Chain A
Amino acid sequence: MRFLINGQSVESDVDLRTSLLDLLRDHLNLHGSKKGCNQGACGACTVLADGERILSCLALAVQYQGREITTIEGLAEEGNLHPLQRAFIEHDGFQCGYCTPGQICSAIGMAAEAKRGMPSHITRDLDTSLVTLDRDEVRERMSGNLCRCGAYNGIIDAISEVYVEAE
């Protein structure tokens, strides 16, 4: 099977039962994406597939051949952290850090969804394609990423600094 991970083409003939998460962690030595619940409840395994956030624990690797997969390891450019990575450090967006790679990948996908006009459960008006991201919208849209340390305030601060326009 041939995969495209963080801009690099890699070949790995894994068992068909291998999840995208296990492919990354156990076969490609990319340990950034985390295995929390391994059943789609926590979001720690979130990666981007063609720019869309998905749960790599519920994804069979075989289905993602040829898709452009981006993990936390692929976000920094030329040694410079992604602005959201810097914001998480700045705002203490973590304690133990286990959920952080998933939080960051999820937030990047979330911001792209909002930018193209995807409404959320709390968006009042469905008739417009303009979405104003505020802190409540960010909280709702990030509900698939749990943080057992409870660092949510720092997480929302970090995401807001990068993606929420100042009021």
Chain B
Amino acid sequence: MNPFTYARADHAEDALRLAEPQGAKFLGGGTNLVDLMRETIERPQSLVDVTGLSATIEETSAGGLRIGAAARNSAVAEHFAVRTRYPALSRALLAGASGQIRNMATVGGNILQRTRCTYFYDDDGSRCNKRVPGQGWDAIDGFNRIHAILGASSSCVATHPSDMCVALAAFDSVVHLRSARGERAVPITEFHRLPGDTPHVETVLEPGELIVAVELPPNPIAQRSTYRKVRDRSSYAFALVSVAAALQIEGSTVKDVRLALGGVAHKPWRASKAEAALRGREATEENFRAAAAAELIDARPLRDNAFKIELAVRTITAVLQQLTEEAQ
């Protein structure tokens, strides 16, 4: 690990001021950043500890929830309003990492965590455009069963590893940012970038800009939502494919639906095509499958991960079936 200086911020202005020097990075629970620093993939010159910033989970005047970026993953998962009004978010968090890591990891850090692509981590032996821009890549021709099938580029096929962000994407959540220039709000679906030819630029965050909160808009459909994660072992593993879904049925017709996918792309993937294909249609397994297939029509498999296409279709279909049965 390279040497760095450390300062603890008491509030957001403090954090922004401390992070002014070039090479500064914000530190949350450290569960990803400390590991990457140990591997010398991340080499910050100074760390600004933001775990003392707002971690409150509060009602918004609009009737949604605002979650301070320093809130721990476990605190969000067990919060009663999250569990009852946005159950897919609670379930996504509980499907992620382990009890120990959920107690450490913050919401802001979860959003900014980096890919678990093994080629990205293999500093000594592999080329990676994300780790070293322009270096080339070994993942695209390598062992790539965990990699992306949607929105990838000829520069990078890494996936975003977060479960939490998939549920946030399904619910039109907004990320609140703060910098010396003021505040702005970015929809979570526009916060992460697709890789293009600059896979090292993973988000729209500007240098020195800080995530201060995530806002969940009021969304009655979210009460009937869930999260399903398919992985190589039943616990403590990253997703091969995951689905956050909410479904509202009137009679036997889909009145409204929200769908987002994890494990398939460089960002949490809002399945807008599948949603559009379902609204106003009969809530049948056949229609669920057709809608899922419509979303995956643009999927481009690599050598080892073609299975993810059918897995995603089946998982979407199964989750929508489950929500239909629960609604009856």
Bound complex: CA A125 to CA B101 (Å): 23
Interface string of A52-94 (1 = CB under 8 A from B): 1111001110110000000000000000000000000000000
Tell me if B99 and A110 are in contact (CB < 8 A).
Answer: yes
Closest residue of chain B to A47 (Cβ to Cβ) is B100
* Chain A residues, Cβ within 8 Å of B54: none
- Tell me, rounded to whole Å, the shortest Cβ–Cβ distance linking B81 to chain A: 11
* Chain A residues, Cβ within 8 Å of B84: 126-127
Given A38-B38, A54-B104, residue A16 in contact with residue B4 (CB < 8 A): yes
Bound complex: CA A141 to CA B87 (Å): 19
Bound complex: CA A116 to CA B91 (Å): 17
- A39 on interface, CB distance cutoff 8 Å: yes
Partner among B4, B47, B87, B236 whose Cβ is within 8 Å of the Cβ of A144: B236
Partner among B27, B74, B95, B98 whose Cβ is within 8 Å of the Cβ of A43: B98
Tell me which of B29, B74, B84, B235 has the highest count of chain A C-beta atoms within 10 A of its own C-beta: B235
* Chain A residues, Cβ within 8 Å of B101: 40, 55, 58, 144
A interface majority secondary structure: loop
Tell me which of B38, B49, B51 has the highest count of chain A C-beta atoms within 10 A of its own C-beta: B38
- Tell me, rounded to whole Å, the shortest Cβ–Cβ distance linking A140 to chain B: 6
- Tell me, rounded to whole Å, the shortest Cβ–Cβ distance linking A159 to chain B: 13
- B94 on interface, CB distance cutoff 8 Å: yes
Bound complex: CA A54 to CA B91 (Å): 20
- Tell me, rounded to whole Å, the shortest Cβ–Cβ distance linking B5 to chain A: 7
Tell me if A53 and B95 are in contact (CB < 8 A).
Answer: no
Bound complex: CA A15 to CA B51 (Å): 20
Interface string of B77-116 (1 = CB under 8 A from A): 1101001100100110011011111011000000000000
Interface string of A1-38 (1 = CB under 8 A from B): 00000000000000111010000000000000000001
- Tell me, rounded to whole Å, the shortest Cβ–Cβ distance linking A163 to chain B: 14
Tell me if A55 and B31 are in contact (CB < 8 A).
Answer: yes
Bound complex: CA A121 to CA B77 (Å): 10
Tell me if A106 and B100 are in contact (CB < 8 A).
Answer: yes
- B125 on interface, CB distance cutoff 8 Å: no
Tell me which of B34, B90, B99, B100 has the highest count of chain A C-beta atoms within 10 A of its own C-beta: B100
* Chain A residues, Cβ within 8 Å of B100: 43, 46, 53-55, 106, 109, 144
Closest residue of chain B to A116 (Cβ to Cβ) is B78
Partner among B30, B35, B90 whose Cβ is within 8 Å of the Cβ of A119: B90
A: contact size bracket: 35 or more
Tell me if A53 and B99 are in contact (CB < 8 A).
Answer: yes
Interface string of B37-80 (1 = CB under 8 A from A): 01000000001010100000000000000000000001001101
- A117 on interface, CB distance cutoff 8 Å: yes
Residues 1-26 (chain B) with a chain A CB within 8 angstroms: 1, 3-6
Interface string of A118-155 (1 = CB under 8 A from B): 11110100110100000000011111110000000000
- A161 on interface, CB distance cutoff 8 Å: no
Given A43-B100, A52-B103, residue A58 in contact with residue B31 (CB < 8 A): yes
* Chain B residues, Cβ within 8 Å of A140: 234-235
Tell me if A62 and B6 are in contact (CB < 8 A).
Answer: yes
* Chain B residues, Cβ within 8 Å of A116: 78
Interface string of B129-142 (1 = CB under 8 A from A): 00000000000000
- Tell me, rounded to whole Å, the shortest Cβ–Cβ distance linking B155 to chain A: 27
- Tell me, rounded to whole Å, the shortest Cβ–Cβ distance linking B1 to chain A: 5
Partner among B5, B34, B91 whose Cβ is within 8 Å of the Cβ of A60: B34
Tell me if B235 and A40 are in contact (CB < 8 A).
Answer: no
Closest residue of chain B to A146 (Cβ to Cβ) is B236
Tell me if B31 and A40 are in contact (CB < 8 A).
Answer: yes
- Tell me, rounded to whole Å, the shortest Cβ–Cβ distance linking A41 to chain B: 9
* Chain A residues, Cβ within 8 Å of B90: 119, 126
Tell me if B91 and A126 are in contact (CB < 8 A).
Answer: yes
What residues make up the interface of A, taking CB atoms closer than 8 Å to B?
A: 15-17, 19, 38-40, 43, 46, 52-55, 58-60, 62-63, 106, 109-110, 113, 116-121, 123, 126-127, 129, 139-145
Can you identify 10 A-B contacts, CB atoms within 8 angstroms?
Answer: A17-B1, A17-B4, A40-B31, A40-B101, A52-B74, A58-B101, A59-B30, A113-B74, A141-B99, A145-B98
